[in-house]
Structure 1
Amino acid sequence: MKLFPPPAVAEDAQQSPLGADALQRIAAAVAAAEAKTSAEIRVVVAREPLIQHPFYSVMYAALAALVLPWILVLLTPMRPMQLLGIQAAMFMVFAGVLMLPSIAQKVIPRLALKAAARSAAVEMFLAHGIPQAKGRSGILIFAASQEHLIEVVADEGVHTPLGHGAWRDICERVADQAKKGSLAEGLIAGVHKAGDLLAGPLPSKPGERNELANHVIIM
């Protein structure tokens, strides 16, 4: 997994992480990379937040409402009903603020986001039939554009000869370009890196057909 900062400007008017031209260039990069190897490469980009429920906003609001009023209890005598009223009011205020869209995503712990990115990548890996590739030789490059996270999921046919280091290299290649403000260029660089790495243990063979589509999946 690799982190990258958000680009300074959205890449198209619809606030999609990738425009039509970028999608075409990534698909072309996949075709070029697969020309070097018998493995299959898929690219998935998550446009929406991976965690959309308000669990963490509500949790932090509840903790604040539970703990903070006791400071007043230490300073001022207070009846139980008064304390409960203050706690209820504080919970409503904190929950309302923390559930604002601009704030809700910022209170989600980074570990939870990383776990959600990994789970989503594995789900897409399975949902799009990558394990059905011949020789279990498929990989998926997953980018969570809202969370700025990169994941690579590899099947056993390519993971066994290459190992975790190869997937870290791909993630780093994507993140290095994305840090400069272009997720599209990062994904293209990551795809080319994947093709170079996969060509070693799984070189292209004459007459092989493309088992999986090259286009980018937007979720």
Structure 2
Amino acid sequence: MSILTRYFSKSDLDEIKSAVGVAESKTSAEIVPFFAESSHHYKEWIWFGAFLMGGLFGTIFYLVQRLYGIVWGGESFFSILSVWIGAVLGLGITSFFPKIRINLVSRSAKQYFVELRAKEAFLDEEVFRTKSRTGILIYISLYEHFVRVLPDKEIARVVPKSEWNEAVRLIIEGMKSGKKKEGIVSSILFCGELLNKYNIQREKDDKNEISNEIRDGGKLM
């Protein structure tokens, strides 16, 4: 099962594709929505989970001994064993439950990987290969709760960066309210209106240079 069919019905995907067509009908820009479940595997943080759980189990073992006056034979052995048990448990939990693992990752680290993956997607989808350099990538990273809008140079030259904040907000609000499709559609249509506002008008010989389907970012975690 692809990531898109996991989160969207066929009618949802058709509606998103249709929204791209509507948004592009009044402008020479090419809008490319891209949906990723996550932007990185974050496997480095498995070891952090092991460290945390090992420390937690070791601390609990120590407190139980002190609070209840329990005396163990070979106390140092059991102390070390409790740390190892916690570490192995933490390793297993963060390995098999990526949503728990990603909660250990700092916001700045997630932002870094989202920015990196969005730029890779911009190149992979060849958003830059439009006649007038008027492509736009709308990159959505679900697990990180981040959205990035990457316009090509001709659009970036005309449209202030702050203007894309509303496009981002619409998608994030849709995600939070459980209306992913509605948020994406609203954001795409907003982008079309914004481009029209800044006179990125449709040229007479304009043609659809990039297909309108939302792109499948695959599964990394």
TM-score range, shorter chain: 0.7 to 0.9
Change (3 A) 1:177 1:62: closer
1:191 matched to 2:188: yes
- TM-score, normalised via structure 2 length: 0.79
- TM-score, normalised via structure 1 length: 0.79
User: Match for 2:85: what amino acid?
Assistant: A
The answer to whether the Cα contact below 8 Å between 1:178 and 1:185 also exists between their aligned partners in 2 is no
Q: Cα RMSD between the aligned structures?
A: 2.8
The structure 2 residue matched to 1:59, chosen from 48, 51, 61, is 48
The answer to whether the Cα contact below 8 Å between 2:174 and 2:182 also exists between their aligned partners in 1 is yes
- Provide the rounded CA distance (Å) in 1 between the counterparts of 2:178 and 2:57: 41
Query: Which segment drifts farther, 94-103 or 23-32?
Result: 94-103
- Provide the rounded CA distance (Å) in 1 between the counterparts of 2:143 and 2:6: 10
- Provide the rounded CA distance (Å) in 2 between the counterparts of 1:119 and 1:139: 16
What's the secondary structure of 2:7's corresponding residue? coil
Gaps (5+ residues) in structure 2? none
Change (3 A) 1:180 1:70: closer
| Equivalent residue runs for 1:21-60 within 5 Å | 21-46=11-36, 48-60=37-49
- Provide the rounded CA distance (Å) in 1 between the counterparts of 2:162 and 2:112: 20
Query: Which segment drifts farther, 163-172 or 175-184?
Result: 175-184
What's the secondary structure of 2:46's corresponding residue? helix
Identity %: 22
The answer to whether the Cα contact below 8 Å between 1:22 and 1:184 also exists between their aligned partners in 2 is yes
What's the secondary structure of 1:158's corresponding residue? helix
- Provide the rounded CA distance (Å) in 2 between the counterparts of 1:80 and 1:130: 60
The structure 1 residue matched to 2:169, chosen from 172, 182, 188, is 172
The answer to whether the Cα contact below 8 Å between 1:17 and 1:145 also exists between their aligned partners in 2 is no
Aligned to 1:11: none
The answer to whether the Cα contact below 8 Å between 1:143 and 1:149 also exists between their aligned partners in 2 is yes
Change (3 A) 1:24 1:103: same
Per-residue Cα deviation, 1:27-53 (whole angstroms, up to 9, x for no partner): 11111111111111101111x333334
Offset of residue 24 of structure 1:
0.9
